[in-house]
Chains A and B, each alone.
Chain A
């Protein structure tokens, strides 16, 4: 089973709407990473969060790491069709990298 839980599993939005995916770990993480996988592609690294309460922005994407370092979120403002894909969170668990199940985002133009 997944040690890093991610919700929702699917999200369909109209272009221009916002989107958020949430990630929760059963244990405190030293860091959390986010990846994006386009349809037919492979996961590509987006960002790494290390500090408690950390917030990082990449253009329309905002990443947060919870105060307890057990949860994280990715928020996309005003989605575009180029945002389509599956977003995974991942963190070190039990000595190796474990991935959440991912949130598949589809965007209707």
Chain B
């Protein structure tokens, strides 16, 4: 069974631009969660989608948004990029939502904002 895939793997953007990251979960998984990982802040929860509905959102500004499609693939968008948005963005898929099931992580997208 194929693992979680994320595209692109690396991105370089400048301040003020916007970016869209994509995540394809493991086949059969309907829950997709997004995390931001920085050296100083660890893994910070962004949001979780289950069956195309956003179940929860972490403490991030409205510039961070996401969606999930009917095939469970998910995208996250960051608008008006700031230097502090530079981070590794990880998505994870699971069978059940809400932290009740094992999360399988993708390799991440490394975003650098200049």
Contact = CB atoms under 8 A, between A and B. Distances in A.
Contacts of B107: 41-42
B105 A44 contact: yes
Contact of B105 (A42, A48, A91): A42
A74 interface: no
Interface centre among A43, A44, A93 (most CB of B within 10 A): A43
Interface string B60-101: 000000000000000000000000000000101000011110
A102 B58 CA distance: 18
B33 A99 contact: no
Contacts of B35: 99
B90 A43 contact: yes
Interface size class on chain B is 20 to 34
B42 A42 contact: no
A92 B97 CA distance: 9
A95 B98 contact: yes
Contact of B42 (A91, A95, A97, A100): A100
Contacts, number: 64
B43 interface: yes
At the interface, is chain B mostly helix, strand, loop or mixed? strand
Nearest to B102: A45
Given A43-B43, A43-B90, A102-B43, A95 B106 contact: no
Interface string A86-109: 001011111111111110000000
A93 B48 CA distance: 13
Contacts of A35: 103, 105
Q: Which of A33, A48, A96 is packed against the most chain B CB atoms within 10 Å?
A: A96
Interface of A: 2, 30-31, 33, 35, 41-45, 48, 88, 90-102
Shortest beta-carbon contacts, A-B, top 5: A92-B99, A97-B99, A99-B43, A101-B42, A42-B105
